[in-house]
Amino acid sequence: MGRYSDAFAAARDDRETFWLDAAGAVDWVSAPTHALDDADAPLYRWFPDATLNTSYNALDRHVDAGHGDRTALIWDSAMVGEVRTFTYAELLDEVSRFAGVLSAADVSAGDRVVIYMPMIPEAAIAMLACARIGAVHSVVFGGFAAPELATRIDDAEPVAIVTASGGLEPGRTVEYLPMVEKAVELAASPPATVIVKDRDEITGSAADHAGWLDWDAEMADAAPAGPTTVAATDPLYILYTSGTTGKPKGVVRDNGGHAVALTWSMRNIYDIGAGDVWWTASDVGWVVGHSYIVYGPLLVGATTVMYEGKPVGTPDAGAFWRVVADHKVAALFTAPTAIRAIRKADPDALELGKYDTSTLRTLFAAGERLDPDTFEWAGATLGVPVVDHWWQTETGWAIAANLRGLEPMPIKAGSPTVPVPGYHVGIVDAEGKQLGPGEEGNIVIELPLPPGTLAGLWRDEERYRKSYLSAFDGYYLTGDSGYVDADGYVVVLGRSDDVINVAGHRLSTGSIEAVVASHPAVAECAVIGIHDDLKGQRPSGYVVLKAGADIEADTLRGELVALVRNEIGAVATFRDVTVVPALPKTRSGKILRKTMRQIADHEEYTVPSTIEDPDVLADLAKQLGG
């Protein structure tokens, strides 16, 4: 472990030199003279005296260096059977003009812009255009329904929404405009401007809404806008993610630390540089899409593939291999659930044989645990290293990884390998005592976190401190549990809070519970994440009916499923409803969610000593066959 341990030690023992050195790969307007501002610890700022523009680093700098004709972005849509390619010069032109459109709509540096778009190039263009003028984007995943969009609008208080007429899911279209309309109605402070990219496949357009602007019409005569210089510590984006409660957390990412960290990660973790073709099969609505569809690959001058489609069914389980072959992809990053979906549809990988995937060097996986079975299958099938790595929306890049560019290490199934330089991972028990090798506990990271990680929660410092910094003094709480083995390899076992991970999508059981509890027949409920072979986990609801409620179980289920879909969105994948006579609780009234999950998953469980009524648990176990 030579190069890795050297880098790890350098980042720990001489943080300033390590990160200033990494910052040398970024093109600054005014370069940093020091790396970390810890005057306000435990709140930290990276590169406090530096200025830059992120879109300049992602675009202009490559064009200025004479690489304008290199391919920046390949959009491949399995949904409409179309491929569009943008060189760096072309992407710069699109981004500059859309930045001009935003400026003409009075969007200025520091203003927020909500982007609610499907996987089309205009989503990336809108993000980079915001970065260009110093506006702060907040991308909302297309699978969320109007109330979730409204919650984010109310928190971010955007001056504009950039959207499209809709998205395409297998067998159906998703019309965005009625949802945007409803969200704007629901929002306490609706934005002044709505810009719509019209898609031929979807009904509805800006023309149907008084005052809404049409993307193409605005772009036709837009004056290009140049890059605005911002402080390294200024926010680049807010990305909402699920917490324990219903209200999503607005993770704030800065400009400077983000550019430094992502550039470092492309080279050292993914071994990707200028001219390489890189494909992240995720969605721009998630952090993986922000970091590794849009910013990371463009910062290093690589070609990024943006794919609209699914791993299976669009049209078949060969979809990913077709994209790899067509675009000569060197590395693919996806979620384990996508690999499981391909395996389920094509267990013998017959589709793979139809394509020349010889350009593929590595398959990276993150977003949820990579189970050893899927890891083995993917490795044996593809014949390339399958590399798990662990991170979260909050960190923006990997906490633990096998650093393929720095020093590839032996891979152990079930482990994302070692802490990335800059991250000092520890395992502590409930009292904060450090645990030894192999001992399971809360995974924490010693403060300060490295550059590129969250600068805080949008306008909610108290929640930031409470959620992440106050549990264990001097440490960031990841919310995951796990252990570090005797070789220093990290093993992530799952969340220790009420966050669940469904098909790589992070959801809050608390927010689903709030919707289920709003049904008139429901007295109380618990939603837990239970094991699902394909999606990793799925939400499962247990409801106690109000006395005298007269409703058939099937009717109730249908109504609750529709309610969750309308309030949260299809992405919640809420389908399981079980009516129970009572919920197991502690004497202080806390629902025993963990024990319920163990029963539902047919795992061993112990009856907690604090239980209020052991019979309730016994009855539940009988009902669920546990």
What is the CB neighbour count within 10 angstroms for residue 302? 24
Please compute, for residue 296, the number of CA atoms within 13 A of its CA located in the half-sphere on the CB side: 30
Segment near ligand COA (CB under 6 A), from 85-93, 280-288, 522-530, 612-620? 280-288
Contact call for residues 363 and 402 (beta carbons, < 8 A)? no
DSSP 58-106: IIIHHIIIIITTSEEEEEEETTTTEEEEEEHHHHHHHHHHHHHHHHHTT
Element (H or E) spanning 280, and its range? Answer: strand 277-280
**552 CB-near residues (< 8 Å, 6+ apart):** none
Binding flag, residue 416, ligand COA (CB under 6 A): no
Q: Are 300 and 263 in contact (CB under 8 A)?
A: yes
Rounded alpha-carbon distances, angstroms, from residue 300 to 20, 59, 186, 275, 294: 17, 10, 41, 9, 11
337 touching ligand COA, by CB under 6 A: yes
Pattern of binders to ligand COA over 445-484, x per CB under 6 A?
----------------------------------------
Does 528 contact ligand COA by CB under 6 A? Answer: no
The distance of closest approach from Cβ of residue 254 to ligand COA in the complex, given in angstroms and rounded to an integer, is 22
Per CB under 6 A, residues contacting ligand AMP are 241, 287, 366-370, 388-393, 416, 479-480, 492, 495, 501, 506
Which residue from 11, 78, 335, 484 is in contact with ligand COA, where contact means CB under 6 A? 335
β pairing state of 193-197 and 213-214: parallel
- Among ligand AMP, ligand COA, none, the one that 416 touches (CB under a kind-dependent 5 to 8 A) is ligand AMP
Is the distance from CB of 142 to CB of 285 less than 8 angstroms? yes
Task: Pick the closer one to ligand AMP by CB: 247 or 506.
Answer: 506
Among 32, 100, 143, 301, binds ligand COA (CB under 6 A): 143
* Residue type at 268 in one-letter notation: N
Using CB under 6 A, pick the residue from 142, 147, 191, 318 that binds ligand COA: 142
Instruction: Give 544-577 as a DSSP string.
Output: EEPTT----HHHHHHHHHHHHHHHT-GGG---EE
State the binding partner of 571 from ligand AMP, ligand COA, none, CB within 5 to 8 A by kind: ligand COA
Q: Up-side HSE of residue 451: CA atoms within 13 Å toward CB? A: 30
Cβ nearer to ligand COA, comparing 157 with 559 = 559
Contact of residue 475 among ligand COA, ligand AMP, none (CB under 5-8 Å per partner type): none
Smallest distance, Å, CB 548 to ligand AMP?
A: 41
User: Could you say which of ligand COA, ligand AMP, none residue 480 binds, taking C-beta under 5 to 8 angstroms by partner kind?
Assistant: ligand AMP
* Beta-strand runs (E) in 383-468: 386-388, 400-401, 418-419, 425-428, 441-446, 456-457
Which does residue 498 bind out of ligand COA, ligand AMP, none, counting CB within 5 to 8 angstroms by kind?
none
Which residue in 134, 318, 367, 441 binds ligand COA (CB under 6 A)?
A: 367
Q: Does 561 bind ligand COA (CB under 6 A)?
A: no
Q: Does 318 bind ligand COA (CB under 6 A)?
A: no
Widest distance between CA atoms in the chain? 74
- The answer to the question of residue 286 lying near ligand COA (CB under 6 A) is yes
Q: How far apart are CA 95 and CA 127, in angstroms?
A: 9
Using Cβ positions, the residue closest to ligand COA within the complex turns out to be: 367
- Interacting residues with ligand COA (CB under 6 A): 142-143, 167, 169, 174, 282-283, 286, 288, 310-311, 334-335, 337-338, 341, 366-367, 503-505, 535, 570-571, 573
